[in-house]
Amino acid sequence: MPEVLLKLEVVLARHAGFCSGVRKAVVTVLAASKEGTEVYTLGPLVHNEMVGQYLAEHGVYSVSSVEEATGPVLVIRTHGVAPAVLEKARSRGLKVIDCTCPRVRRVQELAAEAAATGARVVIFGDPSHPEVAGIAGWAGDGAAVVSSAGELDKLELQEPTVLLVQTTASKEDFAAIKALFLEKVPGGKVFDTLCPETGLKQDEAIAIAESVDTMVVVGSATSANTGTMVEICRRLKPTYRVAGAGDLKPHFFTGCRRVGVTAGASTPDWTIKEVVERMEKGDFVAEDLQEVEKEPEIENEQEKDEVKKEAEEVEFAFEDALKVPQAGEQVAGTVVRAAEDEVFVDVGYKTEALLPKNEVYLSEGESLADKFTPGEEIEVTVLSVDDQDGKIVVSHKRLAKEKRWAELEQACAEGTTLEGKVKQVVPKGMVFDLGAGLEGFMPGSMVDLRYIPDFKGFLGTTVAFKVTECNREKDKIILSRKKVLEEEIARRKEEIFRTLEPGSVIKGIVRRLTNFGAFVDVGGIDGLIHISELSWERVAHPQEVLKVGDEIDVKVLEVIPEKERISLSLRAVQPDPWTRAVEEFKSGEIVKGKVTRLAAFGAFIELRPGVEGLAHISQLADFHVKHPSEVLKEGEEVSVKILEIKPVAKRISLSVKEARGVTPAAPAAAERNSASDGNVTLGDLFGDLFDEGKAGAADEGKDAAEEAGAAGDTSEANEASESDAGEEQE
């Protein structure tokens, strides 16, 4: 026959490709390689040559033993390893990144727990597979690995014995092993440790295989779970394994029009996409290799019609027989209509399947019509098939519950944020409706970042959360809203630190007052207004200026992302009183002021709110003053003479004595204070009654020294005191 152009209809499995564990492992090792050090994986991270090549190009290399790892980082792949391997790696000083799949780690834990109680562990799986080897290392010396019912039958078993299964094994094969195990050891414990994601992939592959002419499984020849998928599909339809689009051959599709495609858990999405695109292009050319035997000629036309009709009837009957679903199968269907008590689903059989209301999980007040829309594609489990009247009864909730468990386990492993409705509040937390008949519990400590005494306000609301623990065996699902809030705060912090610029003026809300300043919320992050930045006036405590809850404008002074520190200023957005002071005051002018504080080196005198000047101790009186408190007291109003104004430094030098005039003799109080310690000087007794020339020279030298001290140009001691004074003025 002539060559024909194959036009293929491709049905792609929705769950084909990387599983969550593999995807997380790849992301983890690539992140580690970006730190600039070589990363080694103990065995291929993924059983896929193209992925291995990609990782090698990014500094991630596979080694077969711990000794071969010459770099500082060793990655344990998703299959896990025995505890002895971990100890060896750490003893060599390697940094170990453990990417063991959470589901595999659970099998390891079960094996270790069983061995610790003295039970013998039997593992069903491929003895050459690294996952099985690792589990055996946790199971103790008496562990046994079986890959078939025949091997299990040869074992001498007695209680206590535990049966575990490789996470990627076939569900059907495990069911047979489980039955045989319980026959041999009626009191034995069986743990179904099959990976839910693998189960979904297998169920989906079976459903697709039943509806197509040929199956293509994309994956490496070294991938165990891909091999299992191939075996499952081959039981139903001709099946071919390809590593990539280049392995596709025209003879795969001889006489084929509808082809199904699935892939192993180690197959990257891009490889699957290339395979599908290659088939959908329709550029395969093949010959119809089926030879049609010549039938004996029938002369009677009526006979010809009868033979043809009979052949058609046989063909139709054969096709119908192939399409009959079997009880326990998961099949895809299309919703035809939703009645009050049942849903009619087209599953490709001669009659529509019935989905009873009691086989559907409905929320409170939800109807079947609310949940299902005509034309919607759903997956159901076949409960029963009546061959006589062709009636098929299916269940939605059984598969829905399995899928929901898988979704929650994946969310737990990947840290995905989900949403759920609070159906009940209890003193210790909240109970969530997670759908598909599952409930989750959120402890009170996981509800919020702060303590919440009563959770009634959450009842009936939809809340975002993360799954922190997911245990099917104990039917335990623990949730956390706190982790979601922490992530939101972290994102807001990152955004604020990225966009906030020093010098900008922003709004904030006062959250807390302390002795040293005020903390202001500027969009989820608290910035600090130091007490010195609250006002141009001197402030004893922030509560004099602000109260909690005030919304204010502040200026950003400094942003330090690595320390998560933001410095703010309130006074910087207010008029600077020094600007007016410079215009108002002149050197030599006599003005009034209020003594605000006394220091060892002088007195601070407020001339206007927010504007202070310093009267050096040498400018307080015409006699020797040991401390400003001898002549002044805080709160006192005095007249002062402005000696010098420094606008840039925001300093004003003042003189009390020049404003008061020259006093001929020291006050009695000063004399008493000077004499009280028994040390009396001539200057204390006679003031400036010395020789006029000498006294004048001494006064001039003293004034010059004092003025130089105010400017910071005198002795080391004066420099220290004036530095302190300057800081106090600022």
Secondary structure in 3-state letters for 383-430: EEEECCCCEEEEECHHHHHHHHHHHHHHHHHHCCEEEEEEEEEECCEE
**DSSP class of 65:** S
Give me 13's structure tokens: 């499995």
Consecutive H or E run containing 684: helix 682-686
CA dihedral 401→402→404→409, nearest 10 degrees, is 140
Distance CA 603, CA 310 (A): 121
Do β-strands 239-242 and 189-190 pair in parallel, antiparallel, or remain unpaired? unpaired
Residue 261 burial (C-beta neighbours within 10 Å; 0-12, 13-18, 19+): buried
Cis ω for the linkage preceding 196 (within 30 of 0): no
Counting every residue written for the chain, the total comes to 730
How far from the centroid of its chain's Cα atoms is residue 667's Cα?
76
Distance CA 475, CA 594 (A): 75
Give me 141's structure tokens: 């010396």
Give backbone dihedrals phi and psi of 666, rounded to 5 degrees, phi first: -70, 145
Distance CA 502, CA 647 (A): 24
What is the layout of strands, in order, in the sheet containing 39-42?
Answer: 60-63, 39-42, 73-76, 95-98
H-helix segments, 559-638: 577-584
Give backbone dihedrals phi and psi of 40, rounded to 5 degrees, phi first: -115, 140
Distance CA 237, CA 229 (A): 12
425: Cβ contacts below 8 Å, ≥ 6 apart: 431, 455, 456, 458, 459
Q: Is the dihedral of CA 38, 44, 45, 46 positive or negative?
A: positive
Distance CA 594, CA 613 (A): 10
**DSSP class of 294:** P
DSSP string, 486-523: HHHHHHHHHHHHHH--TT-EEEEEEEEEETTEEEEESS
Would you call 271 helix, strand, or coil by DSSP?
helix
User: Which one of 57, 131, 364, 583 is the catalytic residue?
Assistant: 131
- Cβ neighbours, 10 Å, residue 206: 21
- Cβ neighbours, 10 Å, residue 605: 26
Give me 8's structure tokens: 């293929």
Residue with tokens 């003053």: 625
| 438: region left, alpha or beta (phi > 0 left; psi from -120 to 50 alpha) | beta
Is-catalytic flag, 352?
A: no
Catalytic residues: 131
